Structure 1
Amino acid sequence: MIDWDLAVRVGSRLAGDGPTVSRAEAAGVVDELRRGAEQSTPLVREFTGLVAEERTAPVLVVDRPGWIQANADGFATVIAPIVAKLQEKKGPPSPMTEAIGSRVTGAELGLMLGFLGNKVLGQFDPFHDAAGAAGRLLLVAPNIVHAERELSVDVHDFRLWVCLHEETHRVQFTAVPWMRDHLQSLMAEIVGSLETEPGRMLSEGLSRIGDLVSGKTDGSLIDLVSSPEQKKVIDQITGVMSLLEGHADVVMDGVGPEVIPTVAEIRAKFTQRRKGVGTLDRMLRRLLGLDQKMAQYRDGAIFVRKVVDVVGMDGFNAVFAEPANLPGKDEIHDPAAWVRRVHG
């Protein structure tokens, strides 16, 4: 149903190669990012109290096409149950439908990956499972170099700052092994309630895209085609992701002053950068739900800081004790409610 090779080709072409660097500079960036990820492990452990075995997930420093290929592989795994469900109801597509449809969807996915492929600085992929690894950490070298030049910040401080954020995600999933299974179970719930009429989904989604782009309605494309049952599960996922992203932001800023002298300057400039530039950029961010992603960083960080202020870091770490202790979307905006529920 999706021409994955075409998606990777289209995405890589759209994303481009990134900033021009010499071979020696590129090698230096790769080496520094690898060392930054390794240096971050004990720093995150000391600050958070979460203990994750070192080197349980490989660190890959990739270029833009490498990130796009990794995410295409990840998407193929995630949507496999959806494809199976569609084919179970509709049967396998005709050769003509498969030939044309797969290229159309491949090109569409490639456009999305291409847009994101020149923006993402790093990513922890918890669902990658190869040779017993507990996920993998991807650091996108050309995007990091582009960002540090664009922001005019100390390059060594910025690289370590990025590594701290992404390493926190690695620790979250490797120190809390049930987190991956919990997210997978939530995704399975969405698949289980999936509307298997693609034409209906498309028509309903297209009818409301105008309102979404114009700002008359909130959300993203995913919200437009989600059923009420799916939205309940999406709210749970939103709560988890807000927690994880906010926690990582708190760690990178909390650890930062000890090892990153210019952390305050970096945070101020990077927060401004997250808002996006240009009308087209803002529209695409809204359609893809990136505005919601930015809200997750902000709301999650506020939640973590307020909870830590009340019950300390050890008390906060109760969120990682079991799935029932994870905050819901409403509790992310009401930290006191979470404290009452979990700590009495």
Structure 2
Amino acid sequence: MSTGSGGGSGEGPDDGANPFKGTPFEQFFSGAGGFGGVGGLGGPGGAGMPDLSQILGQIQAMMQPYDGALNWDVAQDVARKTVAQTPDPSPTQRQQDAVADAVRLADHWLDAVTEIPSAVTSTAAWSRAEWIVSTLDAWKVLVDPVAEQSVTGLAKALPPEAQAAAGPIVGILGKAIGAMLANQVGSGLGSLAGEVLTASDIGLPLSAPGRAALVPANVTAFAEGLDVTEDDVLLFLALREAAHQRLFAHAPWLREHLVGAVTDVASGVEINVEGLQERIQEQMSGVDPQNPESMQQLLEGGLFDMPPSPAQRAALERLEIALALVEGWVDEVVNQATAERMPAAQRLQEAVRRRRAAGGPAEETFAALVGLELRPRRLRDASTLWGSLRQRQGVEARDGVWLHPDLLPTSADLDDPLGFREDAGAPESLTEDDFDAELRKLLDGE
């Protein structure tokens, strides 16, 4: 790319002085004008071209120092400002008491349909802003690994010689990308805060263990138009929240299983350098390095939105199946708990399913940014599987599957939910003598 004579040594930008030459970032940095001559990293560019030091100064000015791949102070600030765009009153004492009473009654109903004991140690009625603050630590665990891969992907796309020459530049741009990601994450969290109904609404454990929490303002909005009393809506959602709390306490490995799947999505990221170069050349033509907003548009345009690697696809499938199994089990036990007590339960269950299937802007944000689908696609199959297992082998068999991750149904099991563990209930065919013989083998170490 010829842009006129360079400064300093008199050499043009095509003579190799640019350490990014031949890399995906050649067009950007040759356009920035900082590599046109000797000592170009700090000096002015060629004729009619901006000073790279000025550009970097502007990039630095748009962010404050922070640790990690993503500026969480910015993310939280953006999230709270997003929520503040609409009224967000703190829950009243009456609402706090109503949530506590609903959760207490929900636990009583659940005792009759599952042997997994209550795990609720405290209750809370959160404003939307309180939901953000109270779940932020969980989001850090979920988002940081993916943000780290996005930021380090900038350097990984360069050959070693370019990385050595442009280390400071890549580091500064990495921080800029981390600040941009923080804005996207904050916006997504703010949008989610306006939609979530409970602490476990998306199927992931976001609250502290044992803390059952609901968002009354969102519950009221959800109840509108359902032709169901708000008390029934509150109790139904309290049942779902209390069921989530029981399951995550009963299966302590489950929290790490879900978080690990998200982390594996990040670690499975593979940077396609050739494909990235083509995309950058296409998108950088509209980027003004002096304009942070144009750099934000570049990021939002999918600069790092590469096709998923095989490792990512496997992790995403594991996450999808696990979320479906969690939500399917919750649907199953809540359906059993309300069958004889709440005539409106079926209507509420369908409303929850429709809401989950439809998704929204916040879920689309996280799907694009984190690769995280917040809605399980195979929920109905999972619910059918748990109900079938209970009918054939009882509540103990259904809930016993959660004792270890190796016992969980697979994708193939969800393809045939009525056949899961169909032959597991055949111990009656084992005679007493056969049992004694197998026990002796076990004790003898055979």
Provide TM-score, normalisation by structure 1. 0.75
Residue 107, structure 1, aligned to residue 107, structure 2: no
Worse overlay, 173-182 or 282-291: 282-291
Residue 252, structure 1, aligned to residue 372, structure 2: no
Aligned residue type for 2:128:
R
- Give the secondary structure class of the aligned counterpart of 1:295: coil
CA drift at 1:147: 0.8
Worse overlay, 178-187 or 285-294: 285-294
Aligned mate of 1:237, from 319, 342, 345: 319
Aligned residue type for 2:199:
Q
Q: Which residue of 2 aligns with 1:11?
A: 79
Tell whether the 8 Å contact from 2:389 to 2:398 is kept in structure 1 after alignment: yes
CA drift at 1:76: 1.6
User: In structure 2, what is the Cα distance between the partners aligned to 1:284 and 1:296?
Assistant: 18
- Give the secondary structure class of the aligned counterpart of 2:214: strand
User: In structure 2, what is the Cα distance between the partners aligned to 1:283 and 1:29?
Assistant: 27
CA drift at 1:143: 0.8
Tell whether the 8 Å contact from 1:126 to 1:135 is kept in structure 2 after alignment: no
Could you say if the C-alpha distance between residues 3 and 274 of structure 1 is closer, same or farther in structure 2, counting changes exceeding 3 Å? Answer: same
User: In structure 1, what is the Cα distance between the partners aligned to 2:228 and 2:245?
Assistant: 25
Tell whether the 8 Å contact from 1:148 to 1:155 is kept in structure 2 after alignment: yes
Q: Which residue of 2 aligns with 1:305?
A: 387
Structure 1: stretches of 5+ with no match in the other structure: 208-221
Q: Which residue of 2 aligns with 1:211?
A: none
Aligned mate of 2:133, from 69, 86, 95: 69
User: In structure 1, what is the Cα distance between the partners aligned to 2:355 and 2:268?
Assistant: 37
RMSD: 4.0
Tell whether the 8 Å contact from 1:6 to 1:107 is kept in structure 2 after alignment: yes
CA offsets 1:161-194 (integer angstroms, 9 cap, x no match): 0010111110001122232233344445444434
Q: Which residue of 2 aligns with 1:148?
A: 223
Q: Which residue of 2 aligns with 1:59?
A: 123
Tell whether the 8 Å contact from 2:199 to 2:205 is kept in structure 1 after alignment: no
Q: Percent of counterpart pairs with the same letter?
A: 21
CA drift at 1:337: 4.3
Tell whether the 8 Å contact from 2:185 to 2:366 is kept in structure 1 after alignment: no
What is the 5 A alignment of 1:245-324? 245-276=327-358, 284=364, 293=375, 295-324=377-406
Q: Which residue of 1 aligns with 2:239?
A: 164
User: In structure 2, what is the Cα distance between the partners aligned to 1:202 and 1:35?
Assistant: 58
CA drift at 1:14: 3.0
CA offsets 1:184-241 (integer angstroms, 9 cap, x no match): 444454444343679968988xx9xxxxxxxxxxxxxx99643112212222222221
Aligned residue type for 2:223:
E
CA drift at 1:249: 1.3
Aligned residue type for 1:174:
A
Tell whether the 8 Å contact from 1:190 to 1:233 is kept in structure 2 after alignment: yes
Could you say if the C-alpha distance between residues 96 and 302 of structure 1 is closer, same or farther in structure 2, counting changes exceeding 3 Å? Answer: same
Higher CA-based Rg: 2
Residue 32, structure 1, aligned to residue 32, structure 2: no
User: In structure 2, what is the Cα distance between the partners aligned to 1:292 and 1:54?
Assistant: 24
User: In structure 2, what is the Cα distance between the partners aligned to 1:179 and 1:20?
Assistant: 33
Q: Which residue of 1 aligns with 2:213?
A: 138
CA drift at 1:16: 4.5
User: In structure 2, what is the Cα distance between the partners aligned to 1:66 and 1:202?
Assistant: 42
CA drift at 1:248: 0.8
Tell whether the 8 Å contact from 2:251 to 2:402 is kept in structure 1 after alignment: yes
CA drift at 1:157: 0.8
Could you say if the C-alpha distance between residues 84 and 290 of structure 1 is closer, same or farther in structure 2, counting changes exceeding 3 Å? Answer: closer
User: In structure 1, what is the Cα distance between the partners aligned to 2:277 and 2:424?
Assistant: 41
Aligned residue type for 2:108:
P
User: In structure 1, what is the Cα distance between the partners aligned to 2:192 and 2:223?
Assistant: 17
CA offsets 1:239-274 (integer angstroms, 9 cap, x no match): 221111011112222212444343234334444444
Tell whether the 8 Å contact from 1:7 to 1:110 is kept in structure 2 after alignment: yes
- Give the secondary structure class of the aligned counterpart of 1:293: coil
Count of residue pairs the alignment pairs up = 319
- Give the secondary structure class of the aligned counterpart of 1:138: strand
User: In structure 1, what is the Cα distance between the partners aligned to 2:398 and 2:205?
Assistant: 22
- Give the secondary structure class of the aligned counterpart of 2:326: helix
User: In structure 1, what is the Cα distance between the partners aligned to 2:193 and 2:374?
Assistant: 18
- Give the secondary structure class of the aligned counterpart of 1:51: coil
User: In structure 1, what is the Cα distance between the partners aligned to 2:128 and 2:273?
Assistant: 31
Aligned mate of 2:413, from 331, 335, 340: 331
Q: Which residue of 1 aligns with 2:256?
A: 181
Provide TM-score, normalisation by structure 2. 0.60
User: In structure 2, what is the Cα distance between the partners aligned to 1:301 and 1:146?
Assistant: 27
Tell whether the 8 Å contact from 1:19 to 1:146 is kept in structure 2 after alignment: no
User: In structure 2, what is the Cα distance between the partners aligned to 1:9 and 1:237?
Assistant: 29
Tell whether the 8 Å contact from 2:120 to 2:242 is kept in structure 1 after alignment: no
Q: Which structure dedicates a bigger proportion of its chain to helix?
A: 1
Could you say if the C-alpha distance between residues 185 and 312 of structure 1 is closer, same or farther in structure 2, counting changes exceeding 3 Å? Answer: same
Q: Which residue of 2 aligns with 1:219?
A: none
What is the 5 A alignment of 1:189-200? 189-195=264-270
User: In structure 1, what is the Cα distance between the partners aligned to 2:420 and 2:306?
Assistant: 29
Could you say if the C-alpha distance between residues 100 and 224 of structure 1 is closer, same or farther in structure 2, counting changes exceeding 3 Å? Answer: closer
- Give the secondary structure class of the aligned counterpart of 1:180: helix
User: In structure 2, what is the Cα distance between the partners aligned to 1:224 and 1:306?
Assistant: 40
Aligned residue type for 1:176:
A
